[in-house]
Structure formats: C-alpha cells, structure tokens
C-alpha cells in the first residue's frame, strides 16, 4: 500500500475511482466508521447500499493494511463476514419474508446500525464543540500549576521528638528516669499496632500516645523510634514546637 495518507488529515478525500488505498484504518473508529466513510464519500444511497461494491471495497481496504491492530482486528473481520453474508443473501432468487409476509431487506439491520452510529458520531462532535470548563471557559479557581509546585517536607528532628515525648510524659505525670522494668507490652507488638493505624493515613504523635500509663507510652514511643530507624515511617515536624506527624512511608514518596 502507499504511504499517502497524511496523519494530520483524519479522513482524506478520495476519488470515486480509487477510494481504498488512500485510506488507513488507524484513522477510523472501527468498521462502522469505515463503511460510513466509503458510503458518504462516494455518495452512495445509504437506504439502497450497493452491497457487492461496498463489500469489495471494504475487503480490499482490510487486505491492504500491513498489519491490523490485534485489538480491533476481530471487529473488522466480523464486519467482513457480515458483508459477505449480506452479499450472498441479496443474491437469493426468492426474497425472505417476515411474519406478515413482507419482504425483508437483508441490509436493513446494517443500515440501522450505520445510521445509529452516524448519529452518535455527530452527537460526539457536538458535545466536543460545546464550550468546556477548563478548555474553553474557566471558573475562578486555583491555578493548575499551584498543585504542581513542590513543597519539600521539613527535615525531621530527633531532639524535637524527644522533647515532645518529654512533654507527653510530663502530662501523664512522673519524670523521665532510668528505670528497669519487665516488658509486659512488647515493642514489636506495638510496632504492628502503629503500622496498622498508619494504614488509614498519617497521625499526630499525641494521638499514638493516647493510652494512659507510662508503660504503654514508652513502648509505643520505642516502637515509633524503631520504625523510624527501619525507615518504615516518616516523622515530620512542620516547625519548631509544632505538632509532630507520623506518616506511613509511601505517603512521603
């Protein structure tokens, strides 16, 4: 086939003599689109389609394609067989009759399909031509770029974390002192609890340390430190003395 069709021209005009080889299937939305093009560009009567001629042109067109996109190949081939079947039914000496004894035009179904598709093709164009919000008309809004601006998250700060821990401890009473205790709550277990809560999104440190008593708080805090060390979580403080947020790792990426 010739490489004649220009990509900028979705539907090249074709002369009635050699309409086929100028056409490339990737410019079409499927077999119905192709048939409509053949019919309309050659000014065939859609209510009296010359099936034999149309079938020949359609088959020639399909065969001319170097390779058929596999996704749509099936649809094009089904139409090819439909056309060939219509062609043979048109040749039957006696016309088929419906229940009321009237002649059935074998082409009627295809014509209905073509006309319906042509309507939606036109409606699609009309919808596309409407002034569209964000393309042709604009409402007062945040500029699109504003969302693309990178806002680097502040660097985490271990001192701040320790300070916050101290504050929490102060609130629940008691002071930080070396104290050897038997572990009744496992840090590992608490790591799991923290990760589980983070699945629903980031939380503020205080929220994680909401259990009463020193031991749960210490255990949870150790769990947070361990998770941070393992880089399973991200710790963020927006500014000095601001609250500290714990985020799951992927939210940071």
Partner 1 sequence: MSLQQQLEALILASDEPVGIQKIRDMLDDLPSAEIREALAELESHYNTRGIRLVQAGGGWQFRTAPEHADLVRQLWSVRPPRLSRSMLETLAIIAYRQPVTRAEIEALRGVKVSSSIIGGLQERGWVRVLGRKEIPGRPHLYGTGKPFLIDFGLESLKDLPDASQLMDEDEIIAQAQQTETHAEHDAEAGEPPPSTEGEDTSATGA
**Cα 182 from Cα 187, distance rounded (Å):** 12
Under the binding rule (CB under 8 A), the answer on residue 30 touching partner 1 is yes
Cα dihedral 108→113→119→122 (10° resolution): -130
Under the binding rule (CB under 8 A), the answer on residue 215 touching partner 1 is no
Under the binding rule (CB under 8 A), the answer on residue 108 touching partner 1 is yes
Under the binding rule (CB under 8 A), the answer on residue 29 touching partner 1 is yes
Under the binding rule (CB under 8 A), the answer on residue 12 touching partner 1 is no
**Cα 4 from Cα 15, distance rounded (Å):** 14
Q: Which contiguous run of DSSP H or E holds residue 234?
A: strand 233-237
Interface with partner 1: number of residues (CB under 8 A): 46
Under the binding rule (CB under 8 A), the answer on residue 181 touching partner 1 is no
Shortest distance in whole angstroms from residue 26 CB to partner 1: 12
The contact pattern for partner 1, residues 55-74, with x = CB under 8 A and - = no contact, is ----------------xx-x
Q: Which contiguous run of DSSP H or E holds residue 246?
A: strand 244-248
Burial status of residue 184 (CB atoms within 10 A of its CB: 0-12, 13-18, 19 or more): exposed
Contact 214, 224 (CB under 8 A): no
Residue 105 per-residue DSSP state:
P
Shortest distance in whole angstroms from residue 69 CB to partner 1: 11
Out of 14, 20, 21, 33, point to the residue binding partner 1 (CB under 8 A): 33
Contacts with partner 1, residue ranges (CB under 8 A) = 29-33, 45, 47-48, 71-72, 74-75, 79, 105, 108-109, 111-113, 115-117, 119-121, 123-128, 130-141, 143-145
């Amino acid at each position: 086939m010739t490489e004649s069709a220009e990509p900028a021209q979705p539907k090249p005009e074709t002369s009635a003599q050699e309409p086929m080889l100028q056409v490339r299937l990737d410019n079409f939305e499927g077999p119905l689109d192709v048939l409509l093009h053949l019919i309309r560009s050659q000014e065939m009567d859609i209510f009296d389609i010359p099936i034999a001629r149309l079938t020949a042109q359609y088959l020639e067109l399909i065969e001319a394609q170097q390779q058929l996109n596999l996704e749509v190949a099936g649809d094009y081939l089904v139409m090819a067989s439909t056309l060939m079947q219509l062609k043979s039914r048109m040749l039957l000496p006696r016309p088929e009759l419906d229940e009321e004894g009237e002649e059935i035009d074998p082409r009627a179904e295809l014509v209905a399909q073509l006309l319906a598709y042509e309507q939606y093709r036109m409606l699609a164009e009309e919808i596309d031509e409407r002034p569209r919000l964000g393309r042709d008309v604009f409402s007062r809004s945040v500029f699109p770029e504003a969302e693309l601006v990178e806002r680097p998250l502040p660097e985490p700060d271990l001192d701040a974390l320790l300070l916050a821990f101290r504050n929490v401890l102060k609130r629940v009473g008691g002071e930080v002192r070396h104290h050897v205790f038997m572990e009744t709550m496992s840090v590992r277990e608490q790591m799991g609890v923290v990760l589980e809560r983070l699945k629903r999104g980031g939380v503020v440190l205080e929220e994680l340390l909401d259990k009463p008593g020193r031991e749960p708080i210490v255990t949870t805090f150790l769990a947070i430190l361990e998770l941070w060390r393992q880089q399973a979580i991200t710790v963020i403080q927006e500014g000095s003395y601001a609250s500290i947020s714990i985020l799951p790792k992927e939210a940071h990426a």
